[in-house]
């Protein structure tokens, strides 16, 4: 059935027709209170896929996007997350292909050279300009659903002094968005799941009396639910408690533990079920393409030796072609999503009275930022040593330190040690850290 559907010329032809119009012929997504809504008033729940075929921009190859969009539509996806794009590229064909399939984009604004670094932390004009160019490139597409200001900038539990810089970046890009008259596409952050920083990081980024300084959405990269788990044994009940009453949309910006094979994606029934769907706005599954880390849902052909030099082959993995489902993971996720269709609430019936969370105070061995500190301005820097202690710059905490050197352990999470740049999640994952 899959091969016949994918080979149907009419579907691909339909995706290609009137490219510019198609990219702007779908309802837009907006954040209202703690939920996402289509512009027609229906609540939007994310069923997403992490989509980064190489370290290069995956949204400039129209033919490949058409093939992948068709497969994702069969899978039941309605969103992709892309971690690295070239703002100078022509994205119209790909955005049209995904729009025609009902698929929305969450895109990271940072690049390999402009991510916020928690060891030598800065928010400078070069970074701002680079982020703004990505926003300029994608704000015109109606199926752009959100911008991430960073991915796992804070990757270790002693790096929270970088949080004011993340928040400053969100403040300035929101101001830029509004000054340009762009649609209010949500600007948010995608966080590593660090037990010692729960729920302080999510609360800090949303706290304060000035809404212009807070993020618009919060994504969590969590790999706790592995195999035959449940709300209690996975720790999802704790995540649920921390998210209750949160004043902006919260969702899983990466999930899909693979320490138990095959992946059955049972956590999706919890995320989209009655215990969680009133609080969470869905999930993005890591990842689309099968690599040596075994997280992929599809492949483009068999692997070859890593030393092979061939067109569209990187590190032994084919990066283009007809998507072939990974068995049985693709079918397992398809089956899960097919039965999970929460209706949510209509925007006309939703009148949130949620307040921002309190700004957390610093604690020894944990969160390092003391309350609602003044955010850094463009050009301000902060350097810390391996323990998290301030070396240069203006301290923004009481000085409490932690000495952890590893991303905190959720059950089955992807462990990362010694990484300090903001691309430590999928972007470097895509560069074969597993």
Q: Which active-site residues does the annotation give?
A: 152, 254
Give the alpha-carbon dihedral of 401, 406, 408, 411, to 10 degrees. -160
Cβ(123)–Cβ(116) under 8 Å?
Answer: yes
Phi/psi at 39 (5° precision): -65, -15
Quick check: 45 and 344 in contact, CB under 8 A?
Answer: yes
240, 268, 344 from 274: Cα distances, Å: 12, 11, 10
3-state DSSP call for residue 382? strand
The tokens of 328 are what?
């049985």
- Decide if 85 contacts 137 (C-beta within 8 A): yes
Torsional class of 18: left (φ above 0), alpha (ψ -120 to 50), beta (otherwise): left
Angstrom distance (rounded) from CA 388 to CA 376: 18
Whether 242 contacts 231, CB under 8 Å: no
């Amino acid at each position: 059935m899959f091969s016949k559907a994918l080979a149907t010329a009419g579907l691909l032809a339909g995706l290609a027709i009137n490219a510019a119009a198609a990219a702007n012929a779908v309802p837009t997504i907006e954040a209202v209170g703690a939920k996402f809504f289509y512009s027609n008033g229906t609540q939007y729940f994310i069923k997403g896929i992490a989509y980064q075929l190489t370290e290069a921009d995956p949204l400039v190859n129209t033919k490949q996007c058409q093939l992948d969009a068709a497969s994702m539509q069969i899978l039941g996806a309605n969103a992709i997350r892309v971690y690295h794009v070239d703002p100078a590229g022509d994205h119209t064909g790909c955005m049209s292909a995904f729009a025609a399939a009902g698929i929305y984009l969450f895109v990271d604004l940072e690049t390999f050279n402009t991510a916020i670094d928690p060891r030598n932390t800065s928010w400078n004009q070069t970074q701002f300009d680079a982020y703004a160019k990505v926003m300029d490139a994608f704000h015109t597409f109606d199926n752009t659903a959100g911008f991430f200001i960073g991915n796992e900038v804070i990757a270790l539990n002693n790096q929270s002094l970088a949080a004011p810089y993340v928040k400053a970046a969100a403040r300035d890009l929101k101001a830029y968005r509004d000054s340009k008259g762009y649609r209010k596409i949500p600007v948010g952050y995608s966080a590593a799941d660090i037990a010692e920083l729960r729920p302080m990081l999510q609360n800090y980024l949303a706290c304060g009396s000035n809404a212009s300084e807070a993020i618009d959405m919060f994504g969590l990269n969590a790999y706790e639910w592995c195999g035959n788990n449940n709300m209690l044994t996975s720790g999802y009940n704790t995540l649920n408690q921390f998210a209750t009453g949160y004043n902006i949309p919260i969702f899983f910006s990466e999930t899909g533990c693979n320490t138990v094979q095959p992946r059955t994606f049972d956590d999706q029934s919890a995320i989209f079920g009655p215990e969680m769907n009133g609080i969470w706005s869905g999930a993005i599954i890591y990842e689309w393409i099968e690599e040596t880390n075994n997280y992929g849902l599809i492949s483009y052909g068999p692997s070859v030796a890593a030393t092979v030099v061939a067109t569209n082959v990187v590190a032994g993995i084919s990066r283009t072609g007809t998507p072939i489902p990974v068995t049985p993971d693709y079918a397992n996720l398809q089956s899960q999503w097919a039965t999970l269709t929460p209706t949510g609430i209509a925007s006309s019936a939703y009148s949130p009275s949620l307040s921002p969370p309190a700004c957390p105070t610093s604690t020894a061995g944990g969160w390092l930022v003391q309350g609602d500190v003044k955010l850094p301005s463009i050009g301000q820097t902060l350097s810390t040593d391996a323990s998290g202690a301030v070396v240069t710059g203006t301290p923004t905490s009481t000085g409490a330190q932690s000495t952890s050197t590893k991303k905190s352990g959720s059950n089955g999470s992807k462990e990362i040690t010694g990484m300090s740049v903001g691309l430590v999640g999928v972007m470097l994952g895509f560069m074969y850290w597993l």
